[in-house]
Structure 1
Amino acid sequence: MRSFSARPPIIRIANGTFYRHHPNNAVSHGHPNPPFFSKLNFELPSQSTPTSPLRNWCIVGPSLSGKTTFLQILAGQHLCFPPTARSFPYLATDDVPHHLRVPSRAIQYVGFDATGANGGGLGPAASAYLAARYESRREKTDFSLRDFLLGNMQLNPSSVPGEDGVDAKVLERVVVDLRLESLLDLPVAFLSNGQGRRARIARALLTRPEVLLLDEPFMGLDPPTVAGLSPLLHSLAEKASPRLVLSARPQDPLPDWITHLIYLRTDCQVGAMGDKETVLDGLRKYVRGVWNGRLSEDETLPVHALGEMGRQLTKDGIEGEGLGEELLGESNDNAQVDEVSDVRPEALGEPLIEMNGCRVRYGDKIALGNWTEERDGKLAGGLYWTVRRGERWGVFGPNGSGKTTIVSLLSSDHPQTYSLPIKLFGRSRLPEPGSGQLPLTFWDIQSCVGHSSPEVHQHMPRSLTVRQVLASAWADTFRSKPALDDNAVDKIEATLKWFSHELNPAAGSSLKPQPTSLDGLAHNSLSWADNYMFGELSFSAQRILLFLRAIIKQQDIVVLDEAFSGMDDAVRDKCMLFLVCGEEKMYATGLSKSGTKSHLPTEAPVVPSHVANSGAVMVKGLSDQQALICISHVKEEVPDCVREWICLPEASTSLPARLGRLDGPLRTDSKRWREIWEASKSS
């Protein structure tokens, strides 16, 4: 019989408690310093044996539960008490190459918070100004994707690219598996959001770490890319090269090869840990017990966050039902949202955006509009698209198909806006002879477009306070002085109060209900909004703040580019309701539509808010004078008010864009979602 010599684990945590700052030191600005994951016990094995098979871990939890913090703790970050409670015994053995014997090299964390800090960022590309990715001119710092993958991101490197041990065969395999072959010679600043995510994962794999920590790796990726990336990660996990630990939101489908789960409570403590089926079964019993009234709901384990948890991502797609869907015996009945879905008004307004044959090219490469189609009996090339006041559009398509390019054209970030047949608000960017109209300036457009996107997230100054980020909606640039009148100040105050729990890091570690009276709202101190900086917020809170910044001024066009990614379902639904109704409506999470107690979001009715009843509403929802443009790869992250849609094809094909109209919300019917994507494939 073959004998196995036991090897120590890569990561061992025994009764460890973690802090951001030393618990004996006073924290500046009075910021709280609560302990994270008190008396945590966790081990990541270095090998699989007959008695201890390979474990593939996924960290799951709602917003503010500490998923990113948990991964950072595994990577050796944050203070551990006692200091000896966290160790990396396997890294001290002769089985590990010398250059990987420190956690900072052996354990690679790849996050997608747009900052690049300890997250596998794209280097100098992250500091480029917003329009740089769309220009044809190449700067010295415009390193190619090939340079990035080889680690050549310095003007005067101390070593030749490739000297850090990047194997040519491994490079070729990773590039093919992650569909990066056609992008190798492009500057990293030119990559789309989804392409940049794949590039970060590829770079981390090429460093050949012992452990790869992936923070919500499927966020922002189109369905075909997710379908291809999951098997690749599975093959890596099977070979334990490297060992993988993922994180996910409760509503995200779990890859079917995940074997073990850690479910986090909202107070940054572990709620359940163990093999996947045992954890899911325990959570299922908890949901049933609370729903049936046999158990009291733990405010740190909100039941509404568990409604969609439990679905699986397989090679054939998403399968199974969430815990809430199992309990209700039906799939996603969101009828209460239909009541406020704000469908298109009877009389549409004038065109706000007119694209009449737009074709964006960089040299020989066509990035948008690479097709010819028949229009009015004649062949015409490029994108034809009109957006009118009152319309609610969804823009879909694979990563790299040109979705963000469209946004850059209408927001005037793209230099080719001046030379393409585009009209915004009925006017061109250049003087039109005989029209008698002045051309639109960049500032004219910026003042009329509210915009949230990964690009805005990347460039938002981390040193701005929470209040300053919201106020910048009335400013010409992120840092310039906003032109605030009394109405604008009142809107900012009302919005901060409405989302104080989601935005204030010190609001409490457990989920608390919204204030039940106007007085409760009024007496909430907002000093935290002046004390906390944007960079101090969690990823989810940053996304919420940027979403609010995009809608608070109620500009003519609201662009939400992956605005809801990174939020758990409860926070996402609150934001979507605020988008349509503002302060006028709220979810009554304590009552079901039948009047009985409810704990699932699918059962929570929408009711008039106490602010509306008092007549003190300052922020209203979308009006029939505004147009909405939403970009997403996940149907649950498309607001229910969206009715018009456009789906772009792969940029390398000559297929035309497809346009259509929905007969209802996307997230309540998977068939509608499949028809959009399948139509684009079969065109």
Structure 2
Amino acid sequence: MNQPESIQMLEANRLGLKIAGETIIHPLSFQLKQSESLAITGASGSGKTMLGRVLAGQLSPSSGELLINPGLRRLMVDQQDHFIAFSGRRSLHDGLRYENQDMEMEPTVQEFLLRVKVKNTTGISETALSELLKQLEIEHLSDRKLLQLSNGERKRTQLAAVLLQKPGLLVLDQPFVGLDFHSRANLNRFLKQQVDTGLCLVVITDPKHIPESISRVIELKKGNLHQFVRRDAYRPDFNASGMSFPDLTLPLFSQLSNPKHTFFNLVRMNQVQVRLGGRQILKNISWQVQSGEQWALLGPNGAGKSTLLSLITADNPQGYANDLILFDRQRGTGESIWDIKKHIGFVSPELHLYFLRGAGIYNTIPGLGASGHANYSAMTCLDVVLSGFHDEVGFTSSPTDGQQKSARAWLATLGLTSWQKRPFVHASLGEQRVVLLARALVKSPPLLILDEPCQGLDSQQTKRFLQLLNVLCHQLKTSLIYVTHRKAEIPACVTHLLQLENGEVKSKGTYDGSTFQWNH
């Protein structure tokens, strides 16, 4: 039976948080009633995720108190899924995701969720499980290997795993990031259904994607409570970026050189086919990226975008079996993956995970494991940027003075000068993504591949980064493949579009920022 609306579900009294002596959240106070739900917004680095972890019980406040209804089960879905355990070896690549023989021991979606179901002490019927998967549109993924899911599919699987634990209070960290328009709309409807049945929902999100089911909004600014208002009274402060940026002019670009190598065909593929686990992932893909071109790669979740990129980054071994030219050289003529990677600056949600050490697949299910989230690497932000010179994940070889200078210059340009010696893990997810962008740019590669690079960035950071890309492509003639679900996020420098659907080319042609010319 629901309690009367006047009874508090949650109450924070002068709640504050410090980590390693640094104040993350300044003392703040607010209340949620039994029927209310909450959005937490604010610039990247404002403390949103840390406040969410306190509310979910993953972190204890350093000061003040948090009063919660007794017996309320609290769980959190992190923005990063931690489905894979990372070894922390010096060099890793993403190819294992695309090799069937190395995936035999990995669980399928069904095996993963059944493990959750077995551990669930409250019990759930097979019918209820099937209905949950149907509502989240992942019932067709039951036999798919967990680590072969697309970014959007992984997010929905994360949510299913948590809902099987029947939480009373659920914290979702950026649940709409990486989802296409259809998936976002469907998740919005689904969350409203959950709230209507009594779930206390806390969503960490940007102001543009606050779910319809939210009744209260907290906006943080540099760890302080900037606003706590009803949803209909909320007026976002879009100028409240958590980072300050220097001017995007010289001297940075005066010390950067154009790419050392000149190529005609950066990518040329002819009738490319990729099958994985008995499924056709890509079918008859023909595509050419020439030097100086900037492409946007579009398509819904599961369209095959990540698999297509894996052929270009040399992480997918099926590149050898296809008619594929990379940097004017036929794939499989004696080149190593590192010969290819040295020409590419790369950012993706999956790469981000390689810089976080997880505890494995099953024991990171919220509510099942001893720890709520992963243990992280001790690399500094400068270490991460320097790793881009040698395409390493882990501590790099000894960098040269020139490499150190270039890495610091990129951090300064992206507004992270003060983060050089700080551990990567102590940055917010948005700040971590900016550091990885610097890692991709640091060697001035002839080709940038940016897969949803603005995930986790606030509006000012996104605007800043798109401006930076435009300057880069103009100043250094850098070629670009830019993956996004949002056409409004396509950089002005983009000259061509490729759109995938169900593993096939839906459209391909030139683009001038508003007009698309389809090339048959």
Partner of 1:66: 47
3-state SS in 1 of match to 2:331: coil
* Residue 409, structure 1, aligned to residue 311, structure 2: yes
Displacement of 1:233: 1.0
Return 455-464 or 641-650, whichever deviates more: 455-464
* Aligned 8 A contact 2:408 2:420 in 1: no
* Aligned 8 A contact 2:494 2:512 in 1: no
Distance 2:414 2:294 in 1: 24
* Residue 107, structure 1, aligned to residue 79, structure 2: no
Partner of 2:206: 249
Ranked by relative contact order (alpha carbons within 8 Å, sequence separation 6 or more), the top structure is 2
Same amino acid, percent of matched pairs: 26
Partner of 2:374: none
* Residue 648, structure 1, aligned to residue 500, structure 2: yes
Specify whether residues 18 and 405 from structure 1 end up closer, same or farther in structure 2 by C-alpha distance, changes over 3 A only: same
Partner of 2:162: 204
Partner of 2:214: 258
Question: Structure 2: which amino acid aligns with 1:551?
Answer: L
Q: Give the RMSD, CA atoms, in angstroms.
A: 3.0
Specify whether residues 503 and 536 from structure 1 end up closer, same or farther in structure 2 by C-alpha distance, changes over 3 A only: farther
Partner of 1:440: 335
* Aligned 8 A contact 1:262 1:274 in 2: yes
Q: Alpha-carbon deviations, 1:364-407, whole Å to 9, x = none?
A: 310111xxxxxxxxxxxx10000001000000101111101111
Displacement of 1:236: 1.1
Q: Alpha-carbon deviations, 1:466-505, whole Å to 9, x = none?
A: 11111111114223644744443321121222234x464x
Partner of 1:167: 125
Task: Please list, as runs of the form range in 1=range in 2, the aligned pairs for 1:135-534 lying within 5 A after superposition.
Answer: 135-137=99-101, 139=103, 141-151=105-115, 165-240=123-198, 242-250=199-207, 252-265=208-221, 267-280=222-235, 303=239, 350-369=264-283, 382-431=284-333, 439-460=334-355, 462-479=377-394, 481-482=396-397, 484-500=399-415, 502=416, 504=418, 528-530=419-421, 532-534=422-424
TM-score, normalised to structure 1, is 0.65
Partner of 2:98: 134
Distance 1:455 1:61 in 2: 25
Question: Structure 2: which amino acid aligns with 1:629?
Answer: I
Distance 1:537 1:187 in 2: 31
Specify whether residues 663 and 39 from structure 1 end up closer, same or farther in structure 2 by C-alpha distance, changes over 3 A only: closer
* Residue 122, structure 1, aligned to residue 83, structure 2: yes
Displacement of 1:279: 2.6
* Residue 627, structure 1, aligned to residue 482, structure 2: no
Task: Please list, as runs of the form range in 1=range in 2, the aligned pairs for 1:610-625 lying within 5 A after superposition.
Answer: 623-624=476-477
Partner of 2:10: 11
**Which structure features the higher share of strand residues?**
2
* Count of residue correspondences: 477
* Aligned 8 A contact 2:44 2:430 in 1: yes
3-state SS in 2 of match to 1:367: strand
Displacement of 1:19: 1.8
Q: Alpha-carbon deviations, 1:96-124, whole Å to 9, x = none?
A: xxxxx5xxxx1111121x3x4xxxx3255
Structure 2: segments with no counterpart, 5+ residues: 243-261, 357-376
Specify whether residues 499 and 270 from structure 1 end up closer, same or farther in structure 2 by C-alpha distance, changes over 3 A only: same
Specify whether residues 491 and 167 from structure 1 end up closer, same or farther in structure 2 by C-alpha distance, changes over 3 A only: same
TM-score, normalised to structure 2, is 0.84
Specify whether residues 57 and 541 from structure 1 end up closer, same or farther in structure 2 by C-alpha distance, changes over 3 A only: same
Displacement of 1:661: 1.9
Instruction: Give the counterpart of 2:507 among 658, 664, 668.
Output: 658
Specify whether residues 176 and 622 from structure 1 end up closer, same or farther in structure 2 by C-alpha distance, changes over 3 A only: farther
Distance 2:431 2:508 in 1: 33
Displacement of 1:443: 1.3
3-state SS in 1 of match to 2:61: strand
Question: Structure 2: which amino acid aligns with 1:247?
Answer: I
Structure 1: segments with no counterpart, 5+ residues: 22-26, 47-53, 92-100, 153-158, 284-300, 307-347, 370-381, 432-438, 505-527, 583-619
Displacement of 1:42: 2.1
Distance 2:140 2:475 in 1: 40
Displacement of 1:544: 0.2
* Residue 33, structure 1, aligned to residue 22, structure 2: yes
Question: Structure 1: which amino acid aligns with 2:45?
Answer: L
Specify whether residues 352 and 38 from structure 1 end up closer, same or farther in structure 2 by C-alpha distance, changes over 3 A only: same
* Aligned 8 A contact 1:150 1:166 in 2: no
Distance 2:178 2:282 in 1: 20
* Aligned 8 A contact 2:352 2:436 in 1: yes
Specify whether residues 4 and 546 from structure 1 end up closer, same or farther in structure 2 by C-alpha distance, changes over 3 A only: closer
Partner of 1:89: 69
Distance 2:299 2:460 in 1: 26
Question: Structure 2: which amino acid aligns with 1:303?
Answer: N
* Aligned 8 A contact 1:554 1:622 in 2: no
Distance 2:156 2:45 in 1: 25
Displacement of 1:129: 5.9
* Aligned 8 A contact 2:120 2:165 in 1: no
Specify whether residues 144 and 638 from structure 1 end up closer, same or farther in structure 2 by C-alpha distance, changes over 3 A only: same
Distance 2:183 2:53 in 1: 26
Q: Alpha-carbon deviations, 1:381-439, whole Å to 9, x = none?
A: x10000001000000101111101111100100111111111101212223xxxxxxx3
